A and B are shown apart, each in its own frame.
Chain A
Amino acid sequence: MRMIKRGSISRSKALCIRLAAAVLSLLVCAIVIVAITKQNPLEVYAGIVDGAVGTGRRLWVTIRETIFLLIVAVGLTPAFKMRFWNIGAEGQILMGGAVSAAVMIYLGKSLPNALVILLIFVSSALIGMLWGLIPAYFKARYNTNETLFTLMLNYVAMQIVTFCIVYWENPPGSNTVGVINAANRGGWIPPLFGTYGMCVLLVAAVTVFIAIYMNRSKHGYEIAVVGESQNTARYAGINVKKVIIRTMMLSGAICGFAGALIVSGSSHTISTGTAGGRGFTAIIVAWMSKFNPAIMVIVSLFLAFMQQGAIQIASQFGLNENASDIITGIILFFLIGCEFFVNYRLEVTIKNSPKH
């Protein structure tokens, strides 16, 4: 048996392979859940659906998780298309969230709400930009390994957030910040058609912007060329260093903005769990979607749906909600693994046994 790289693959065939992987992953998830809860598999699936969209509130939570995952994946897209391994989204989200909380705490009670929200958006994007600029500068200047650099910056950000939590803690000694401005809702993104409607609109706007930026602008073209080959880019007269720094600033800014949406649009507080692993999961979402925003929406929705379903089942059985991470992991393994069958085909050759 040997593997052959496919020259091309028809869209429908690739789709079939990916669907098959998704179905397989669902089967394995069900087997795992059934093994742990000893429930009828059909009831397990019903429980997942109920947990994800069973009530209006649950539906909104699933939508919220989808858009938060989506915006981070969208934010990572320019960097990854450039083959810049920005593993630092987690830290960029945390920094954006921390700055948003700061604006809410210090200005949320005195300034008009629209102005506060505007300040939150601008400042969170700026800090995310800075958090992306630092590794990009060293990558451009000394070719410092960006995977490891951005990874380390996550934990620097984590400690800064922990510092802020202790500094702002309310009530004192609780080690949490509590809901900020619960009374006047200063700096809270107002609801629109429902709890998170405004966030949905904002994420949609950013997604459309990035889709256009990547596919229709000169910048997007430069990013694609640098990602394919830095030498080609240089030969074509593209200033590679400039593109790396500019792109990472954009990527960081969107991830920082995602932090603002999470804090100001949903949790209204800051904690070490504000990013909650989305920065990592989103990398996988972006990569698997081949940077196609439409597919990112589907993958994010699929993951959020299964996570919320798993959380619901776990709480039904008095189990721990980390079950959702196991489910996410299993789904991701299958979706990642199936790409092999999209890119390669297997050919079975039967060896002729030598004649005596």
Chain B
Amino acid sequence: MELIITFIQKAIGQGIAILFGATGEIATEKSGNLNLGIPGIMYMGGISGLMGSFFYELGHQNPSPGVGALIAVVCTLVASALGGLIYSVLTITLRANQNVVGLALTTFGTGFGNFFGGSISKLAGGVGQISVMTTASAFQKKLPGLSELPVIGPVFFSYGFLTYLSIVLSVLMFLFLNRTRMGLNLRAVGEDPATADAAGINVSAYKYAATISGAAIAGLGGLYFVMEYLGGTWTNNGFGDRGWLAIALVILALWNPLSAVWGSIVFGGLYIIYIYIPGLNRAAQELYKMLPYLVTIIVLVITSKRNKEEKQPPASLGSSYFREER
């Protein structure tokens, strides 16, 4: 029992960063933009939040956790939205190929994260290991009282506020896409921009808004990893391939943010299941880590084979729109 509770806790802990990325990417893909820059954007978001709170803690004698957390969130949102803006300008306005721009952005963003993560202490005058314990404590604060309940406490209430925010955002994203006029318009843009354009929808504005806000949401996943998961430190390439898992999760969830919630926990579980299978040596553990990707491939193949209309990627995904080219 104890073991199962720990497993669920750890699976959720692994899944939340991926969930942020997937929710952001769903918004982006619904507008017809396949943003492969999300892994880089998550690096940018993570390191920017860390840097913001780092300089705040460095400059104050008694830093307050709340202010540090606020600064971290704002820095993350700004930096990752900037990443989304670069992508948007190049693909929407300049009509560059989306895959090419996305991959360049991931190269840039990952380098950005690792460069500043590895150099920031040097740039700040050699203060040693960067660590923002005070700010991280705000991110790691559990719900008082509720988290001490047996079983229910650790499974449902033992997380920081970003965990709950990620789930709330996914639910809101689902409602936005499926229950509002603007969500309908956004989906129309992703399915058939020419028709949407003819219906009087501002295609570029929707694409920009969805891509930039999607990037900002994804960036929070990087911040979650740095603050709540690592406790306010940075290790180069520590975020690993979670950004690509977020893109995989979009496929697993079939572009539905609600499915992404449980999907993220499944992915989180698959990601760490090797720890819980007895008798594995180190080499075999590495093979188990490919499970999330294999599952995604299987889902991809099955959905393409069944070819059901409501379970396909947005029809215009990956192609840019030029009004005069119809």
Binding site for B on A (CB under 8 A): 3-5, 36, 85, 87, 138, 142-145, 147-149, 151-156, 158-160, 162-163, 166-167, 277, 280-281, 283-284, 287-288, 314, 317-320, 322-326, 328-330, 332-333, 336-337, 339-340, 343-344
Contacts and interface: CB of A to CB of B under 8 A. Distances in A.
A287 B297 contact: no
Contacts of A85: 99, 318
Interface of B: 34, 36, 86, 89-90, 93-97, 99-101, 103-112, 114-115, 117-119, 122-123, 236, 241, 244, 247-248, 251, 282-284, 286-287, 289-290, 293-294, 296-297, 300-301, 304-305, 307, 313, 318, 322, 324-325
A156 B291 CA distance: 8
Nearest to A344: B95
Contact of A147 (B119, B307, B318): B318
A319 B103 contact: no
Contacts of B313: 145
B304 A142 contact: yes
A81 B99 CA distance: 15
A333 B90 contact: yes
B94 A284 contact: no
Contacts, number: 170
Given A149-B300, A280-B103, A326 B112 contact: yes
Contact of B304 (A138, A318, A344): A138
Contacts of B123: 36, 319
Given A319-B122, A336-B96, A328 B304 contact: no
Nearest to B110: A325
Given A167-B283, A328-B108, 14 more contacts: A36-B119, A87-B103, A152-B293, A152-B296, A159-B286, A280-B107, A281-B107, A283-B103, A284-B104, A288-B100, A320-B115, A323-B111, A339-B96, A344-B95
A322 B114 contact: yes
A152 B96 contact: no
Nearest to B37: A329
A319 B112 CA distance: 12
Contact of A166 (B108, B114, B282, B300): B282
Given A142-B304, A162-B286, A336-B96, A319 B86 contact: no
B101 A160 contact: no
A230 B86 CA distance: 32
* Interface-centre pick from B90, B111, B297 (highest chain A CB count, 10 A): B111
Instruction: Identify which of A147, A281, A322 gathers the most chain B CB atoms within 10 Å of its CB.
Output: A322
A153 B262 CA distance: 23
Contact of A324 (B100, B111, B294): B111
Given A155-B244, A159-B287, A167-B283, A277 B99 contact: no
A152 B248 contact: yes
Contacts of B100: 283-284, 287-288, 336
A240 to B, nearest CB: 16
A320 B119 contact: yes
A85 B94 CA distance: 20
Nearest to A4: B324
A182 B182 CA distance: 64
Contacts of B325: 5
B290 A155 contact: yes
A319 B119 contact: yes
Contacts of A288: 100
Nearest to A317: B122
Given A143-B304, A319-B119, A322-B118, A329 B104 contact: yes
Nearest to B305: A142
A5 B324 CA distance: 8
19 contacts: A85-B99, A142-B307, A144-B304, A149-B301, A152-B293, A155-B241, A155-B293, A162-B286, A163-B283, A320-B118, A322-B111, A322-B118, A323-B119, A324-B111, A326-B108, A329-B107, A336-B90, A337-B89, A339-B96
Given A148-B251, A151-B247, A318-B122, A166 B283 contact: yes
Contact of A340 (B94, B107, B119): B94
Contacts of A343: 95
